[in-house]
Amino acid sequence: MDLLNTLVDKGLRRELPTREEALAVLATSDDDVLDVVAAAGKVRRHWFGRRVKLNYLVNLKSGLCPEDCSYCSQRLGSSTGILKYTWLKPEQASQAAAAGLAGGAKRVCLVASGRGPTDRDVDRVAGTIKAIKEQNEGVEVCACLGLLSDGQAERLREAGADAYNHNLNTSESTYGDITTTHTYADRVDTVNKAHAAGLSACSGLIAGMGESDEDLVDVVFSLRALDPDSVPVNFLIPVEGTPLAAEWNLTPQRCLRILAMVRFVCPDIEVRIAGGREVHLRSMQPVALHLANSIFLGDYLTTEGQAGKADLEMIADAGFEVEGADQVTLPEHRVHAGGGCGSHAEAGCGSHEDAGCGSHEGGGVCGTAAAGAAAAAPAANEPRTDLVAVRRRGAGTDLAPNA
Protein backbone atom coordinates (compact mmCIF):
# COMPACT_ATOMS: atom_id res chain seq x y z
CA MET A 1 0.00 0.00 0.00
CA ASP A 2 1.16 3.54 -0.74
CA LEU A 3 1.17 4.50 2.97
CA LEU A 4 3.70 1.82 3.85
CA ASN A 5 5.96 2.57 0.87
CA THR A 6 5.99 6.23 1.91
CA LEU A 7 6.80 5.37 5.52
CA VAL A 8 9.65 3.05 4.53
CA ASP A 9 11.17 5.77 2.34
CA LYS A 10 10.89 8.29 5.15
CA GLY A 11 12.35 5.85 7.68
CA LEU A 12 15.40 5.19 5.54
CA ARG A 13 15.93 8.96 5.31
CA ARG A 14 15.24 9.55 9.04
CA GLU A 15 12.36 11.80 8.03
CA LEU A 16 9.52 12.30 10.50
CA PRO A 17 6.15 10.96 9.30
CA THR A 18 3.10 13.16 9.55
CA ARG A 19 0.69 12.65 12.44
CA GLU A 20 -1.89 11.48 9.92
CA GLU A 21 0.49 8.78 8.65
CA ALA A 22 1.26 7.59 12.17
CA LEU A 23 -2.45 7.41 12.98
CA ALA A 24 -3.06 5.50 9.75
CA VAL A 25 -0.61 2.79 10.86
CA LEU A 26 -2.60 2.27 14.06
CA ALA A 27 -5.84 2.19 12.04
CA THR A 28 -4.75 -0.62 9.69
CA SER A 29 -6.71 -3.85 9.90
CA ASP A 30 -5.60 -7.20 11.28
CA ASP A 31 -5.61 -8.44 7.68
CA ASP A 32 -2.83 -5.95 6.90
CA VAL A 33 -0.74 -6.44 10.03
CA LEU A 34 1.94 -8.60 8.37
CA ASP A 35 2.32 -6.01 5.60
CA VAL A 36 2.83 -3.36 8.29
CA VAL A 37 5.43 -5.54 10.04
CA ALA A 38 7.26 -6.22 6.78
CA ALA A 39 7.46 -2.51 5.98
CA ALA A 40 8.63 -1.42 9.43
CA GLY A 41 11.02 -4.38 9.44
CA LYS A 42 12.86 -2.90 6.45
CA VAL A 43 13.52 0.25 8.48
CA ARG A 44 14.61 -1.77 11.53
CA ARG A 45 17.06 -3.88 9.51
CA HIS A 46 18.44 -0.85 7.68
CA TRP A 47 19.57 0.80 10.93
CA PHE A 48 20.11 -2.19 13.24
CA GLY A 49 20.57 -5.28 11.08
CA ARG A 50 19.36 -8.47 12.75
CA ARG A 51 20.89 -7.72 16.14
CA VAL A 52 18.86 -7.87 19.37
CA LYS A 53 20.21 -6.09 22.41
CA LEU A 54 19.56 -7.78 25.78
CA ASN A 55 19.05 -5.72 28.92
CA TYR A 56 18.72 -6.94 32.50
CA LEU A 57 16.79 -5.30 35.34
CA VAL A 58 17.95 -5.19 38.95
CA ASN A 59 15.32 -3.87 41.35
CA LEU A 60 17.43 -2.09 43.98
CA LYS A 61 14.47 -1.07 46.17
CA SER A 62 11.02 -2.59 45.77
CA GLY A 63 7.65 -1.16 46.80
CA LEU A 64 7.17 1.49 49.48
CA CYS A 65 6.65 4.26 46.91
CA PRO A 66 4.83 7.52 47.81
CA GLU A 67 3.64 8.16 44.23
CA ASP A 68 0.17 7.19 42.95
CA CYS A 69 0.83 6.04 39.36
CA SER A 70 -2.26 4.00 38.45
CA TYR A 71 -0.36 1.35 36.48
CA CYS A 72 2.16 0.58 39.19
CA SER A 73 2.14 -2.32 41.65
CA GLN A 74 4.59 -0.40 43.87
CA ARG A 75 2.32 2.67 44.15
CA LEU A 76 1.15 4.33 47.33
CA GLY A 77 -1.31 2.06 49.13
CA SER A 78 -0.71 -0.88 46.80
CA SER A 79 -2.35 -4.18 47.82
CA THR A 80 -0.68 -6.27 45.14
CA GLY A 81 1.38 -8.55 47.39
CA ILE A 82 4.68 -7.79 45.67
CA LEU A 83 8.10 -8.12 47.26
CA LYS A 84 8.94 -5.12 49.44
CA TYR A 85 12.48 -4.35 50.55
CA THR A 86 14.80 -1.41 50.99
CA TRP A 87 18.09 -0.77 49.22
CA LEU A 88 20.19 -3.77 48.18
CA LYS A 89 23.83 -3.60 49.20
CA PRO A 90 26.30 -3.05 46.32
CA GLU A 91 27.54 -6.64 46.48
CA GLN A 92 23.96 -7.97 46.36
CA ALA A 93 23.16 -5.83 43.33
CA SER A 94 26.39 -6.86 41.62
CA GLN A 95 25.58 -10.52 42.19
CA ALA A 96 22.11 -10.05 40.70
CA ALA A 97 23.55 -8.21 37.70
CA ALA A 98 26.08 -10.98 37.07
CA ALA A 99 23.27 -13.46 36.42
CA GLY A 100 21.84 -11.34 33.63
CA LEU A 101 25.23 -10.64 32.10
CA ALA A 102 26.04 -14.35 32.11
CA GLY A 103 22.79 -14.89 30.18
CA GLY A 104 23.87 -12.53 27.40
CA ALA A 105 22.78 -9.09 28.58
CA LYS A 106 25.12 -6.20 27.77
CA ARG A 107 23.34 -3.56 29.83
CA VAL A 108 22.22 -3.61 33.47
CA CYS A 109 19.36 -1.33 34.47
CA LEU A 110 19.41 -0.31 38.13
CA VAL A 111 15.91 0.64 39.26
CA ALA A 112 14.62 1.98 42.57
CA SER A 113 11.06 2.84 43.51
CA GLY A 114 10.26 6.29 44.81
CA ARG A 115 9.62 9.85 43.68
CA GLY A 116 13.30 10.49 43.18
CA PRO A 117 16.67 9.92 44.84
CA THR A 118 18.10 11.83 47.76
CA ASP A 119 21.76 12.78 47.58
CA ARG A 120 22.47 9.86 49.91
CA ASP A 121 20.61 7.58 47.48
CA VAL A 122 22.81 8.80 44.65
CA ASP A 123 25.85 7.90 46.76
CA ARG A 124 24.39 4.41 47.30
CA VAL A 125 23.84 3.91 43.60
CA ALA A 126 27.31 5.24 42.82
CA GLY A 127 28.75 2.49 45.03
CA THR A 128 26.63 -0.10 43.27
CA ILE A 129 27.73 1.08 39.83
CA LYS A 130 31.35 0.84 40.94
CA ALA A 131 30.86 -2.70 42.26
CA ILE A 132 29.19 -3.87 39.05
CA LYS A 133 31.79 -2.34 36.77
CA GLU A 134 34.69 -3.70 38.80
CA GLN A 135 33.29 -7.22 38.43
CA ASN A 136 32.16 -6.98 34.81
CA GLU A 137 34.47 -5.32 32.30
CA GLY A 138 32.69 -3.39 29.58
CA VAL A 139 29.22 -3.57 31.12
CA GLU A 140 26.85 -0.69 30.45
CA VAL A 141 24.84 0.63 33.38
CA CYS A 142 21.58 2.56 33.22
CA ALA A 143 20.11 4.21 36.31
CA CYS A 144 16.37 4.56 36.78
CA LEU A 145 15.73 6.35 40.07
CA GLY A 146 12.86 8.76 39.44
CA LEU A 147 12.78 12.54 39.22
CA LEU A 148 16.25 14.09 39.37
CA SER A 149 17.25 17.21 41.25
CA ASP A 150 19.85 19.64 39.96
CA GLY A 151 23.33 18.13 39.88
CA GLN A 152 22.27 14.52 40.43
CA ALA A 153 22.55 13.49 36.79
CA GLU A 154 26.11 14.86 36.72
CA ARG A 155 26.98 12.88 39.85
CA LEU A 156 25.62 9.67 38.33
CA ARG A 157 27.64 10.29 35.18
CA GLU A 158 30.79 10.84 37.26
CA ALA A 159 30.05 7.60 39.12
CA GLY A 160 30.13 5.67 35.84
CA ALA A 161 26.48 5.54 34.77
CA ASP A 162 26.11 5.35 31.00
CA ALA A 163 22.41 6.13 30.73
CA TYR A 164 19.33 7.33 32.57
CA ASN A 165 15.76 6.13 32.06
CA HIS A 166 12.64 8.13 32.75
CA ASN A 167 9.51 7.38 30.73
CA LEU A 168 6.85 9.86 29.62
CA ASN A 169 4.36 6.95 29.71
CA THR A 170 1.38 8.66 28.05
CA SER A 171 0.34 11.87 26.34
CA GLU A 172 0.55 15.20 28.15
CA SER A 173 -3.22 15.70 27.84
CA THR A 174 -4.05 12.45 29.67
CA TYR A 175 -1.15 12.32 32.11
CA GLY A 176 -3.18 13.75 34.99
CA ASP A 177 -5.64 10.87 34.66
CA ILE A 178 -2.83 8.37 35.35
CA THR A 179 -0.76 10.15 38.01
CA THR A 180 -1.50 13.09 40.32
CA THR A 181 1.60 13.23 42.56
CA HIS A 182 3.88 14.59 39.85
CA THR A 183 3.40 16.08 36.40
CA TYR A 184 4.24 15.34 32.80
CA ALA A 185 6.50 18.40 32.85
CA ASP A 186 8.42 16.90 35.77
CA ARG A 187 9.21 13.87 33.63
CA VAL A 188 10.30 15.94 30.63
CA ASP A 189 12.57 17.95 32.93
CA THR A 190 14.32 14.79 34.18
CA VAL A 191 14.94 13.52 30.64
CA ASN A 192 16.43 16.91 29.77
CA LYS A 193 18.63 16.83 32.89
CA ALA A 194 20.01 13.44 31.82
CA HIS A 195 20.74 14.76 28.33
CA ALA A 196 22.46 17.86 29.67
CA ALA A 197 24.70 15.77 31.96
CA GLY A 198 25.98 13.68 29.06
CA LEU A 199 24.00 10.58 29.95
CA SER A 200 22.36 8.58 27.20
CA ALA A 201 18.67 9.39 27.59
CA CYS A 202 16.06 6.65 27.54
CA SER A 203 12.35 7.45 27.63
CA GLY A 204 9.32 5.51 26.51
CA LEU A 205 5.63 4.82 26.91
CA ILE A 206 3.00 2.43 28.26
CA ALA A 207 0.29 1.23 25.90
CA GLY A 208 -2.97 -0.33 27.00
CA MET A 209 -4.07 2.10 29.73
CA GLY A 210 -7.26 3.05 27.89
CA GLU A 211 -5.59 5.72 25.77
CA SER A 212 -6.72 6.70 22.25
CA ASP A 213 -4.72 6.38 19.05
CA GLU A 214 -4.20 10.15 19.22
CA ASP A 215 -2.70 9.80 22.71
CA LEU A 216 -0.24 7.15 21.47
CA VAL A 217 0.84 9.29 18.54
CA ASP A 218 1.14 12.35 20.79
CA VAL A 219 3.48 10.66 23.25
CA VAL A 220 5.65 9.09 20.53
CA PHE A 221 6.00 12.41 18.73
CA SER A 222 6.89 14.04 22.07
CA LEU A 223 9.53 11.36 22.61
CA ARG A 224 10.97 11.95 19.14
CA ALA A 225 11.24 15.67 19.98
CA LEU A 226 13.19 14.84 23.17
CA ASP A 227 15.61 12.79 21.02
CA PRO A 228 16.36 9.91 23.39
CA ASP A 229 18.73 7.17 22.30
CA SER A 230 16.23 4.52 23.38
CA VAL A 231 12.43 4.25 23.45
CA PRO A 232 11.07 1.36 25.54
CA VAL A 233 7.54 0.34 24.63
CA ASN A 234 5.66 -1.17 27.58
CA PHE A 235 2.35 -2.98 27.36
CA LEU A 236 0.33 -2.55 30.53
CA ILE A 237 0.27 -5.49 32.91
CA PRO A 238 -3.11 -5.11 34.66
CA VAL A 239 -1.90 -6.27 38.07
CA GLU A 240 -4.60 -7.10 40.61
CA GLY A 241 -4.65 -4.46 43.33
CA THR A 242 -3.89 -1.53 41.00
CA PRO A 243 -6.48 0.95 39.63
CA LEU A 244 -5.91 -0.31 36.07
CA ALA A 245 -6.38 -4.00 36.88
CA ALA A 246 -9.44 -4.21 34.61
CA GLU A 247 -7.74 -2.63 31.56
CA TRP A 248 -7.25 -5.56 29.19
CA ASN A 249 -7.34 -3.61 25.93
CA LEU A 250 -4.52 -5.11 23.87
CA THR A 251 -4.31 -7.87 21.29
CA PRO A 252 -1.09 -9.18 19.74
CA GLN A 253 -2.02 -7.45 16.48
CA ARG A 254 -2.60 -4.14 18.26
CA CYS A 255 0.80 -4.44 19.94
CA LEU A 256 2.49 -5.06 16.60
CA ARG A 257 0.85 -1.98 15.07
CA ILE A 258 1.99 0.15 18.02
CA LEU A 259 5.58 -1.10 17.69
CA ALA A 260 5.51 -0.45 13.94
CA MET A 261 4.28 3.10 14.48
CA VAL A 262 7.06 3.73 16.99
CA ARG A 263 9.64 2.37 14.55
CA PHE A 264 8.42 4.63 11.74
CA VAL A 265 8.50 7.70 14.00
CA CYS A 266 11.85 6.72 15.59
CA PRO A 267 13.63 4.87 12.76
CA ASP A 268 17.23 5.08 13.99
CA ILE A 269 16.51 4.98 17.74
CA GLU A 270 16.75 1.82 19.84
CA VAL A 271 13.19 0.55 20.22
CA ARG A 272 12.84 -1.88 23.11
CA ILE A 273 9.96 -4.22 23.84
CA ALA A 274 9.76 -3.76 27.61
CA GLY A 275 7.18 -4.93 30.14
CA GLY A 276 4.19 -6.95 29.03
CA ARG A 277 5.43 -8.68 25.90
CA GLU A 278 4.79 -12.14 27.31
CA VAL A 279 1.27 -11.22 28.41
CA HIS A 280 0.06 -9.37 25.32
CA LEU A 281 2.23 -10.46 22.37
CA ARG A 282 2.41 -14.03 23.63
CA SER A 283 3.24 -16.38 20.71
CA MET A 284 3.71 -13.35 18.43
CA GLN A 285 6.81 -12.20 20.30
CA PRO A 286 9.20 -13.44 17.57
CA VAL A 287 7.30 -11.36 14.98
CA ALA A 288 7.82 -8.26 17.14
CA LEU A 289 11.60 -8.70 16.82
CA HIS A 290 11.20 -7.51 13.23
CA LEU A 291 10.16 -4.15 14.69
CA ALA A 292 12.15 -3.73 17.91
CA ASN A 293 15.88 -4.28 18.28
CA SER A 294 16.03 -4.64 22.07
CA ILE A 295 14.31 -6.61 24.86
CA PHE A 296 14.71 -7.40 28.55
CA LEU A 297 16.09 -10.78 29.55
CA GLY A 298 14.28 -12.81 32.21
CA ASP A 299 12.20 -11.29 35.02
CA TYR A 300 11.04 -7.73 35.50
CA LEU A 301 10.82 -5.60 38.63
CA THR A 302 7.93 -7.21 40.50
CA THR A 303 6.60 -9.84 38.08
CA GLU A 304 8.03 -12.86 36.34
CA GLY A 305 9.11 -12.79 32.73
CA GLN A 306 9.72 -15.47 30.18
CA ALA A 307 12.57 -17.81 31.04
CA GLY A 308 15.93 -16.42 29.94
CA LYS A 309 16.68 -19.61 27.99
CA ALA A 310 13.38 -19.24 26.12
CA ASP A 311 14.30 -15.64 25.22
CA LEU A 312 17.58 -16.78 23.68
CA GLU A 313 15.91 -19.63 21.79
CA MET A 314 13.24 -17.26 20.49
CA ILE A 315 15.85 -14.85 19.13
CA ALA A 316 17.78 -17.63 17.39
CA ASP A 317 14.68 -19.36 15.99
CA ALA A 318 13.44 -16.07 14.53
CA GLY A 319 16.73 -15.64 12.65
CA PHE A 320 18.17 -12.88 14.80
CA GLU A 321 21.37 -12.72 16.83
CA VAL A 322 22.18 -11.43 20.29
CA GLU A 323 24.14 -8.19 20.16
CA GLY A 324 27.65 -8.64 21.54
CA ALA A 325 29.31 -6.51 24.18
CA ASP A 326 31.79 -5.29 21.56
CA GLN A 327 29.05 -4.10 19.18
CA VAL A 328 27.65 -0.57 19.22
CA THR A 329 23.87 -0.50 19.33
CA LEU A 330 23.15 2.83 17.68
CA PRO A 331 23.93 3.82 14.08
CA GLU A 332 27.21 5.66 13.71
CA HIS A 333 25.63 9.07 13.10
CA ARG A 334 23.78 8.94 16.44
CA VAL A 335 26.87 7.87 18.39
CA HIS A 336 28.92 10.70 16.94
CA ALA A 337 26.11 13.16 17.63
CA GLY A 338 26.97 12.92 21.33
CA GLY A 339 24.50 10.43 22.75
CA GLY A 340 26.28 10.64 26.10
CA CYS A 341 28.19 7.37 26.31
CA GLY A 342 30.61 7.48 23.42
CA SER A 343 30.59 4.00 21.96
CA HIS A 344 27.89 3.03 24.45
CA ALA A 345 25.41 5.78 23.60
CA GLU A 346 22.36 3.62 23.81
CA ALA A 347 19.45 2.54 25.86
CA GLY A 348 17.99 2.87 29.29
CA CYS A 349 15.87 0.63 31.40
CA GLY A 350 12.34 1.52 30.53
CA SER A 351 10.32 -1.17 32.18
CA HIS A 352 7.15 0.61 33.52
CA GLU A 353 6.48 -0.71 36.99
CA ASP A 354 8.04 1.74 39.33
CA ALA A 355 6.44 5.11 39.88
CA GLY A 356 9.66 7.07 40.24
CA CYS A 357 11.49 5.93 37.12
CA GLY A 358 8.42 5.04 35.15
CA SER A 359 9.61 1.51 34.75
CA HIS A 360 6.87 -0.95 33.95
CA GLU A 361 6.55 -4.01 35.92
CA GLY A 362 6.38 -6.35 33.05
CA GLY A 363 5.46 -9.90 33.58
CA GLY A 364 4.59 -13.06 31.90
CA VAL A 365 4.58 -16.75 31.79
CA CYS A 366 7.33 -18.58 33.57
CA GLY A 367 7.29 -21.29 36.17
CA THR A 368 4.17 -20.99 38.27
CA ALA A 369 2.32 -18.86 35.74
CA ALA A 370 2.75 -21.46 33.00
CA ALA A 371 1.87 -24.32 35.31
CA GLY A 372 -1.41 -22.68 36.23
CA ALA A 373 -2.54 -21.97 32.67
CA ALA A 374 -5.75 -23.60 31.56
CA ALA A 375 -5.41 -26.59 29.27
CA ALA A 376 -7.99 -25.25 26.83
CA ALA A 377 -7.05 -22.40 24.50
CA PRO A 378 -8.45 -19.08 25.76
CA ALA A 379 -10.93 -17.13 23.69
CA ALA A 380 -9.65 -14.21 21.62
CA ASN A 381 -9.28 -10.97 23.61
CA GLU A 382 -9.88 -12.78 26.89
CA PRO A 383 -7.93 -11.29 29.83
CA ARG A 384 -4.84 -13.45 30.41
CA THR A 385 -4.52 -13.16 34.15
CA ASP A 386 -2.95 -16.64 34.08
CA LEU A 387 0.15 -15.07 32.54
CA VAL A 388 0.78 -12.64 35.39
CA ALA A 389 2.88 -13.94 38.29
CA VAL A 390 4.44 -11.88 41.08
CA ARG A 391 8.23 -12.21 41.19
CA ARG A 392 9.42 -14.27 44.18
CA ARG A 393 13.02 -14.90 43.13
CA GLY A 394 16.16 -12.97 42.27
CA ALA A 395 16.94 -9.55 43.76
CA GLY A 396 15.60 -9.16 47.29
CA THR A 397 15.20 -12.91 47.83
CA ASP A 398 17.39 -15.91 48.60
CA LEU A 399 16.42 -17.66 45.35
CA ALA A 400 18.37 -17.65 42.12
CA PRO A 401 17.21 -15.13 39.49
CA ASN A 402 15.63 -16.02 36.19
CA ALA A 403 18.22 -15.13 33.57
Mean pLDDT by 10 residues, the chain (403 residues): 96 98 98 98 98 95 85 76 88 93 95 94 96 92 97 97 97 96 97 97 97 98 97 93 92 98 98 95 98 92 85 97 95 75 39 44 39 52 83 81 78
Residue 373 covered by a domain = no
> What positions carry a catalytic annotation?
65, 69, 72, 109, 142, 202, 272
**Which pTM does this prediction carry?**
0.90
Residue 382 covered by a domain = no
CA dihedral sign, ordered 177, 178, 182, 184: negative
Q: What does the pLDDT read at residue 318?
A: 97
CA dihedral sign, ordered 113, 119, 124, 130: positive
Counting runs of H as helices and runs of E as strands, what totals does the chain give? 14, 10
Residue 26 covered by a domain = yes
Residue 276 backbone zone (phi > 0: left; psi -120 to 50: alpha; other: beta): left
Q: What does the pLDDT read at residue 194?
A: 97
Q: What does the pLDDT read at residue 239?
A: 86
Q: What does the pLDDT read at residue 148?
A: 98
Q: What does the pLDDT read at residue 247?
A: 94
DSSP 165-228: E---BS-GGGHHHH-SSS-HHHHHHHHHHHHHTTPEEE--EEE-SS--HHHHHHHHHHHHHH--
Residue 402 covered by a domain = no
DSSP state of 257: H
Residue 251 covered by a domain = yes
Q: What does the pLDDT read at residue 347?
A: 34
Residue 48 covered by a domain = yes
What digits encode the pLDDT tens for the residues 48-106?
999 999 999 999 998 778 888 988 887 767 677 788 888 999 999 999 999 999 999 99
Domain that holds residue 187: 2-344
Q: Contact 286/69 with Cβ under 8 angstroms? A: no
Q: How far apart are CA 358 and CA 20, in angstroms?
A: 28
Residue 354 covered by a domain = no
What digits encode the pLDDT tens for the residues 367-378?
333 334 444 556
Q: What is the CATH number of the domain that holds 205?
A: 3.20.20.70
Q: Contact 56/97 with Cβ under 8 angstroms? A: yes
Alpha-carbon distances of 7 from 38, 41, 48, 331, 332, rounded to whole Å: 12, 11, 17, 19, 22
| 3-class secondary structure, 53 | strand
Q: What does the pLDDT read at residue 378?
A: 66
- With 0-12 / 13-18 / 19 or more C-beta atoms within 10 angstroms meaning exposed / middle / buried, residue 75 is buried
Residue 218 covered by a domain = yes
Q: Could you give the number of structural domains in the chain?
A: 1
